[in-house]
């Protein structure tokens, strides 16, 4: 269970492989419930941010989607590392599924990003569409990296005594 | 408030569908490359294209909240994509990391465009 391998699965590695076993089935139900609960909270947060963004900045550029995707990338990078094998915070598999696959997955959205880019292009705003793609991808990756770096620092700070 | 409840309901379905499908694909194909997340994001982009063409956002906000903001919004994910790209880069798999970014973006934008076109062929109705 090295940390990169753990990261790579994106938190989707706990679903039970043997549903015949009752204990495994219970575990699977709890996992799906955790993912659904996190997804609900993430999805509603995204909807509210989107509403607020339209109210604040208008509908000309999809700032709301950009914002939630950056926030979700930062949070998953931070959380995965701070609760990882060398992390300072313990989180069980259910908590990780709730937060990573559920909340962060629900908060962020690739489909709305794609649709909004298409609508910008269809409206003749090719510059805005292109900028949306470039800025989004760069900002997502910078955010997940920053979250990871912050968590590494935190791990090292508090972990030096142990 | 009513629309937020619909987002909640759609979000629960979308998140569970993503968890199931991305896990299923990852177990089948292996986890050296994040195919699971990509399958989810590309299929979600195609679906949102179809729905966006069929459903007028202003005319039927309830369906939009349930299917687009809730279900498809939670079905697709940027956070897993970012985390998996970072993991590939940290392992020095720069080609795979770059390939994941390029493929995800190109296929998702292609998917939504195709979905939109398919929507206009199949349904023919109200563009947003």
- Contact predicate A67/A79, CB 8 Å: no
Distance between CA atoms of residues B33 and B96, nearest Å: 7
What is the largest distance, in Å, between two alpha-carbon atoms of chain B? 49
Residues B44, A108: C-beta atoms closer than 8 Å: no
Question: Would you call A25 an interface residue with chain B, using a CB distance cutoff of 8 Å?
Answer: no
Distance between CA atoms of residues A7 and A105, nearest Å: 14
Q: Is there a binding annotation on residue B73?
A: yes
| Model confidence pLDDT, tens digit, residues B38-87 | 999 999 999 999 999 888 666 788 999 999 999 999 999 999 999 999 99
Question: Would you call B67 an interface residue with chain A, using a CB distance cutoff of 8 Å?
Answer: no
Distance between CA atoms of residues B22 and A103, nearest Å: 16
Residues B15, A38: C-beta atoms closer than 8 Å: yes
Residues A46, B20: C-beta atoms closer than 8 Å: no
Distance between CA atoms of residues B3 and B9, nearest Å: 10
Minimum-distance CB partner of A47 among B45, B69, B76 = B69
- Phi, psi angles (nearest 5°) of residue A9: -75, -5
Query: According to the model, what pLDDT value does residue A161 have?
Result: 44
pLDDT in tens, chain A (162 residues): 344 444 444 444 444 455 567 888 899 999 999 999 999 999 999 999 999 999 999 888 999 999 999 999 999 999 999 999 888 889 999 999 999 999 999 999 999 999 999 999 999 999 999 999 999 999 999 999 999 999 999 998 855 544
Question: Would you call A62 an interface residue with chain B, using a CB distance cutoff of 8 Å?
Answer: no
Give the distance from residue B88's alpha carbon to the nearest chain A alpha carbon, in angstroms: 7
Residues B87, A106: C-beta atoms closer than 8 Å: no
Question: Would you call A152 an interface residue with chain B, using a CB distance cutoff of 8 Å?
Answer: no
| Chain A residues closer than 8 Å to B48 by CB | 111-112, 114-115
The ipTM, to two decimals, is 0.93
What pTM was computed for the model? 0.88
Question: Would you call A51 an interface residue with chain B, using a CB distance cutoff of 8 Å?
Answer: no
Query: According to the model, what pLDDT value does residue A16 have?
Result: 46
Minimum-distance CB partner of B83 among A10, A36, A137 = A10
Placement of tokens 């039927």 in the chain:
B60
| Model confidence pLDDT, tens digit, residues B3-38 | 999 999 999 999 999 999 999 999 999 888 999 999
Question: Would you call A29 an interface residue with chain B, using a CB distance cutoff of 8 Å?
Answer: no
Distance between CA atoms of residues B124 and B118, nearest Å: 9
């Amino acid at each position: 269970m090295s940390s990169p391998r753990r990261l790579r699965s994106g938190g989707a590695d706990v679903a039970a492989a043997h549903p015949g076993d009752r204990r495994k089935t219970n575990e699977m139900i709890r996992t799906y419930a955790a993912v659904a609960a996190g997804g609900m909270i993430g999805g509603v947060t995204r909807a509210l941010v989107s509403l607020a963004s339209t109210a604040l900045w208008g509908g000309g550029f999809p700032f709301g989607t950009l914002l939630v995707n950056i926030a979700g990338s930062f949070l998953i990078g931070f959380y995965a590392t701070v609760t990882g094998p060398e992390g300072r915070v313990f989180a069980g598999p259910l908590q990780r599924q709730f937060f990573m696959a559920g909340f962060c997955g629900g908060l962020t959205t690739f489909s709305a990003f794609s649709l909004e880019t298409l609508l910008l292009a269809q409206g003749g705003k090719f510059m805005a569409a292109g900028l949306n793609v470039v800025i989004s991808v760069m900002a997502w990756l910078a955010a997940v990296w920053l979250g990871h770096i912050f968590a590494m620092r935190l791990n090292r700070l508090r972990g030096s005594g142990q | 408030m009513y629309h937020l409840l619909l987002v909640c309901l759609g979000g629960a379905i979308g998140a569970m569908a993503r968890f199931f499908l991305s896990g299923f694909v990852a177990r089948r194909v292996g986890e050296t490359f994040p195919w699971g997340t990509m399958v989810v994001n590309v299929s979600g982009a195609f679906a949102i294209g179809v729905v966006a063409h069929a459903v007028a956002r202003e005319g039927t906000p309830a369906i939009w909240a349930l299917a687009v903001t809730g279900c498809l919004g939670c079905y697709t994910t940027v956070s897993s994509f970012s985390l998996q790209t970072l993991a590939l880069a940290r392992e020095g798999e720069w080609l795979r990391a770059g390939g994941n970014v390029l493929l995800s973006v190109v296929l998702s934008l292609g998917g939504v465009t195709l979905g939109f076109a398919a929507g206009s062929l199949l349904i023919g109705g109200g563009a947003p």
